Structure 1
Amino acid sequence: MLRALIYCLAPPPPTVNLVSNKSNVVRGKTVPNGTVSIKINAKVYMGRSDAKGLFNIKITTLAAGTRLYVTVTDKYGYTSKERVVIVVDRIPPAPPTVDSITSKSKVITGKAEANATVIAYVGSQKIGSAKADKYGKYTIKITPKKSGTSIKVVAVDGSGNQSVGKIVKVRP
């Protein structure tokens, strides 16, 4: 009975804005003037919410997939249940490398971020794509292109982040 009463008195878990692998601050909203605790692995970051319940707590930049456990303790000493937040990937992959392409080439090969989707374009037209293997190697099947044609190759990671394009001219 007492346990049920405590759960009724405990504040709801804080609302937390998106946290990415570029973030160095965790922002959100909770009860006014609460003590917010963020547990990341073995480290705990603490901060307070303002009179409107808003909080900003500085953290170190984290790897995508890291779990944050966020709670708030209100002015009466009651602590909320944990809100689990997972760090999302917002960093694009490096541009892929592209091996030499000739006017007789039927494939484009090179290296990209492991498991990324590699896409080749001539202008805005997609001419082929392939998934890089666990080592980053990829092979895209294409129809041969004329000498001098510019082919742009990009890598897209599992989170949808796209690299800068690598532009290669088809050699004779």
Structure 2
Amino acid sequence: MEYGFSRTLYPTQSFTLRVQTSSDKPIQEVSIHFLNNQYVELNKVNKNTWESTIQVSLVKDYIIGSILFGLEKGENITYYNKNLPGNCLNTFDFKPNNVKVNKYPKPTITSKITRDIKTIIGKALPKSYVNIYVSDPAQQSSYGIGSVQVDASGNFKWNLLEPLKSGGYLTFTAVNSMYFDPADIDAGAVYAESDTVRIPIPALEPTISTKITNKTTKISGRAEPNVKVIAKVSKKIIGTTIANQYNDFNMNIKPIGAGSTVEILTINHNNNESKTVNKIVTDVIPPSRPAVKKVTTKSKSITGKEEKYSLVEIRVKNKLLGRVKATRGGTYSLKIKKMKKGTVIKIVSIDAAKNRSKQVTTKVY
């Protein structure tokens, strides 16, 4: 649970700020933030007391503090200045004897989070506020990118100011007020926030420069620096590599059967995956030369064996006699008229990818 305060101070000298609570739960963190973006973390005196001296040189008009702690109804918290100088408009003393710790319902994010997303749409308690952060556990960093009020129908929309970067998570928390002041609590106001909704920011999908064939032994392309690139066939990993600092990668693989689908994706340092890029393996290996049985002047057909379902093309003096498809068992047969002895017959096989075999030549006996 978090409480914040904002007060206008014009201190003429440094002063000591103390934060105390009667809760059995220790304060987790106390920090004082200033308009010049500097901040001071208060030092822990004991389980329920934090205290630090604030240098007057750090203060610029406003002093803004945030306190993270757990409170139950009826417990007190007091923060004040031990030696507050003159020329200050307010002190910080308050005792919220009726503080309630309420949980708001979690917001629901209806947008699918992609790297090119421009608008985040979701639902939350009407009139509440949704705070949006980017957190990166691996880099131990977190920063806010927006806060939006939910409309009376429970809908909210946030337009991203810049594209999402790889790594980390988008986190969403619903609260009942964007700014909370101790005076509000003194007046009986209740602070409430939801549990956090965390959605991974996906890695950017790779681009593949290699035409993948059944002869390919290396896949090249581009991806985000230092991400892991993985290639799979039928969910089985066939290769991995790491993209270099210049966004390039080269992955060694064993040749894959024609017609197979290669799935290529990246995984960043937070184990967030990218979209999968699918590539169909092209057949560039020609079929073997067809086998042909002896043809005589009495033959009424030309028969032989070839790769199953391949197309067998038969010519005499560059004139097409016919094309016939090999059976599942790899046999073929083309009916012909009887030929003269010594006639030269040329036979080739053509597979589904239009690859042509080497030519076979035979004579009529």
State the TM bucket, normalised to the shorter chain: 0.7 to 0.9
Q: Residue 290 of structure 2 contacts residue 305 of structure 2 at CA under 8 Å; is this kept in 1?
A: yes
Q: Residue 120 of structure 1 contacts residue 126 of structure 1 at CA under 8 Å; is this kept in 2?
A: yes
Which deviates further from its counterpart, 48-57 or 143-152?
48-57
Could you tell me which of 222, 247, 256 is aligned with 1:53? 247
Q: Which residue of 2 aligns with 1:19?
A: 212
Q: Which residue of 2 aligns with 1:89?
A: 283
Q: Residue 6 of structure 1 contacts residue 78 of structure 1 at CA under 8 Å; is this kept in 2?
A: no
Which deviates further from its counterpart, 25-34 or 70-79?
70-79
The reply to whether residue 100 of structure 1 matches residue 300 of structure 2 is: no
Question: In structure 2, do the counterparts of structure 1 residues 99 and 30 end up closer, same or farther at CA, with 3 Å as the change threshold?
Answer: same
The aligned amino acid for 1:155 is S
Q: Which residue of 2 aligns with 1:70?
A: 264
The aligned amino acid for 1:27 is S
The aligned amino acid for 2:215 is K
Q: Which residue of 1 aligns with 2:360?
A: 166
Q: 1:109, CA displacement in angstroms?
A: 0.5
SS at the partner of 1:43? Answer: strand
The aligned amino acid for 1:24 is T
Question: In structure 2, do the counterparts of structure 1 residues 142 and 30 end up closer, same or farther at CA, with 3 Å as the change threshold?
Answer: farther
Q: Residue 150 of structure 1 contacts residue 167 of structure 1 at CA under 8 Å; is this kept in 2?
A: yes
Q: Which residue of 1 aligns with 2:326?
A: 132
**In 1: Cα distance, 2:322 partner to 2:238 partner:** 47
Which deviates further from its counterpart, 134-143 or 110-119?
134-143
What are the ranges of 5 or more consecutive residues in structure 2 without an aligned counterpart?
1-108, 118-163, 165-201
Q: Which residue of 2 aligns with 1:115?
A: 309
The aligned amino acid for 1:68 is V
Q: 1:75, CA displacement in angstroms?
A: 6.7
Which deviates further from its counterpart, 8-17 or 137-146?
8-17
Q: Residue 102 of structure 1 contacts residue 147 of structure 1 at CA under 8 Å; is this kept in 2?
A: yes
Deviations 1:118-163 (A, max 9, x none): 0111232221111111001111122333211211111111121111
**In 2: Cα distance, 1:116 partner to 1:72 partner:** 38
The reply to whether residue 31 of structure 1 matches residue 215 of structure 2 is: no
Q: Which residue of 1 aligns with 2:19?
A: none
Q: Residue 230 of structure 2 contacts residue 237 of structure 2 at CA under 8 Å; is this kept in 1?
A: no
Runs of 4+ more than 4 Å apart:
74-78
Q: 1:71, CA displacement in angstroms?
A: 0.7
Deviations 1:104-127 (A, max 9, x none): 323111111111110111232221
The aligned amino acid for 2:322 is G
Structure with the larger strand share: 2
Report the structure number with the largest CA radius of gyration: 2
Q: 1:5, CA displacement in angstroms?
A: 4.2
Q: Residue 297 of structure 2 contacts residue 364 of structure 2 at CA under 8 Å; is this kept in 1?
A: yes
Q: 1:33, CA displacement in angstroms?
A: 4.2
Q: Residue 129 of structure 1 contacts residue 141 of structure 1 at CA under 8 Å; is this kept in 2?
A: no
Deviations 1:54-111 (A, max 9, x none): 3220011222222221112357865320112222222111111111112232311111
Q: Which residue of 1 aligns with 2:140?
A: none
Question: In structure 2, do the counterparts of structure 1 residues 2 and 79 end up closer, same or farther at CA, with 3 Å as the change threshold?
Answer: farther
Question: In structure 2, do the counterparts of structure 1 residues 148 and 79 end up closer, same or farther at CA, with 3 Å as the change threshold?
Answer: same
**In 2: Cα distance, 1:148 partner to 1:109 partner:** 18
**In 1: Cα distance, 2:267 partner to 2:292 partner:** 54
**What is the root-mean-square deviation in Å for CA atoms of aligned residues?**
2.4
Q: Which residue of 2 aligns with 1:153?
A: 347
